[in-house]
């Protein structure tokens, strides 16, 4: 078998340059946001030059102003509660449904799974119309239930967990059934430990989507008591609480920081989970 041609030095340099250019284009807006959050009001509105990119003196008080003047503390707690509860319940529901579609046999399985996949083809805004009507019927408008219940399961979550669990060898489940395990016991004892990277990846996806959700909370929540952090940031950007670019950028940094920390500590599980979902069924 002939050897593959190694790329020339010029090709490697071009590829690495393209990768670095893409990385910098994604990091630059975040870096600008953090740097602006540490500037004073007059310094932030000044035309940027090479010598004024960094703040003359870091104004860490902008973060305290964001919490104090915009009352971000309550909104932060609301976002944590909604995202955490949604993540736990969504992962449980999606994993159980994925297990049923991957390993159980029942009538109408293919048709029902096709319906689940069809929901992924609908525009998100279309589902919001039906979601709002259902929440209104159950009396979930303007409370935490409206932010949590509609996201307890999703077409993507069920499909993703089905792919992850389908990669688990059937022989292990058959051995568990021979030992007298029921379906739920086999799921908890065999499937969950082996599918843990995929479950962790789905938890990251669910937490990120819930944490960043803006349009749906904007529709179903009016009271400041139940508003989440993205809504508070939008009100802050509109000048409802304070008109200050550095304070607004400080609030935006506060919004993004938990996701960066989460990805930093869980990135290996995310990569393994995505790779596991792409494996073929044994």
Rounded Cα distance between 269 and 196, Å, is 8
Instruction: Mark whether 36 and 127 lie in a shared domain.
Output: no
pLDDT tens track, the chain, 282 positions:
456 677 777 888 888 899 899 988 888 888 888 888 888 877 777 766 655 677 777 788 888 888 877 778 888 899 999 999 999 999 999 999 999 999 888 888 899 999 998 888 888 778 888 888 888 888 888 889 999 998 988 899 999 999 889 888 888 888 888 888 888 888 988 899 888 888 988 999 899 999 989 889 988 988 888 889 888 888 776 655 566 778 888 888 888 888 888 888 777 777 776 666 655 544
- Domain around 123: 63-277
Instruction: Mark whether 77 and 48 lie in a shared domain.
Output: no
Instruction: Mark whether 76 and 123 lie in a shared domain.
Output: yes
Rounded Cα distance between 108 and 110, Å, is 6
Q: Is residue 4 part of a domain?
A: no
Instruction: Mark whether 149 and 49 lie in a shared domain.
Output: no
Do residues 238 and 251 touch, judged by C-beta distance below 8 A? no
Q: Is residue 282 part of a domain?
A: no
Spatial CA neighbour of 35 closest among 52, 12, 17: 52
Instruction: Mark whether 142 and 192 lie in a shared domain.
Output: yes
User: Between the CA of residue 272 and those of 188, 195, 198, what are the distances in Å?
Assistant: 20, 10, 7
Instruction: Mark whether 48 and 106 lie in a shared domain.
Output: no
Do residues 241 and 69 touch, judged by C-beta distance below 8 A? yes
Q: Which residues contact 153 (CB under 8 A, 6 or more apart)?
A: 90, 93, 94, 97
User: Between the CA of residue 238 and those of 62, 150, 159, 242, 254, what are the distances in Å?
Assistant: 17, 28, 39, 9, 17
The sign of the torsion formed by the CA atoms of 42, 44, 46, 52 equals positive
Instruction: Mark whether 50 and 67 lie in a shared domain.
Output: no
Q: 216: helix, coil or strand? A: helix
- CATH number for the domain that contains residue 219: 1.10.3720.10
Q: What is the pTM of this model?
A: 0.81
Instruction: Mark whether 56 and 149 lie in a shared domain.
Output: no
Q: Is residue 113 part of a domain?
A: yes
Q: Is residue 1 part of a domain?
A: no
């Amino acid at each position: 078998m002939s050897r593959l041609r190694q790329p020339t030095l010029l090709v490697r340099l071009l590829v690495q340059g393209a990768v670095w250019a893409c990385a910098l284009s994604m990091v630059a807006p975040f870096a600008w946001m953090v740097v602006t959050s540490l500037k004073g009001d007059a310094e932030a509105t000044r035309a940027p030059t090479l010598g004024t990119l960094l703040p003359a003196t870091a104004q860490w008080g902008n973060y305290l102003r964001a919490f104090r003047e915009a009352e971000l503390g309550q909104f932060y707690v609301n976002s944590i509660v909604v995202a955490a509860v949604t993540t736990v319940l969504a992962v449980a529901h999606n994993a159980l449904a994925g297990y049923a579609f991957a390993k159980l046999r029942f009538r109408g399985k293919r048709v029902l799974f096709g319906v689940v996949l069809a929901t992924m083809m609908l525009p998100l805004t279309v589902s919001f119309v039906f979601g709002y009507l259902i929440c209104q019927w159950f009396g979930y408008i303007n409370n935490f239930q409206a932010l949590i219940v509609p996201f307890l399961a999703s077409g993507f979550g069920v499909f993703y967990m089905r792919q992850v669990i389908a990669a688990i060898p059937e022989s292990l489940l058959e051995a568990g059934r021979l030992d007298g395990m029921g379906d739920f016991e086999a799921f908890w004892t065999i499937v969950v430990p082996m599918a843990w990277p995929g479950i962790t990846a789905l938890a990251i996806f669910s937490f990120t989507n819930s944490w960043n959700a803006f349009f749906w909370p904007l529709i179903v929540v009016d009271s400041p008591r139940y508003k989440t952090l993205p809504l508070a940031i939008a009100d802050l950007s509109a000048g409802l609480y304070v008109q200050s670019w550095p304070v607004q950028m400080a609030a935006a940094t506060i919004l993004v920081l938990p996701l960066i920390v989460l990805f930093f500590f869980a990135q290996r599980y995310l990569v393994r989970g995505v790779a596991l979902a792409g494996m073929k069924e044994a």
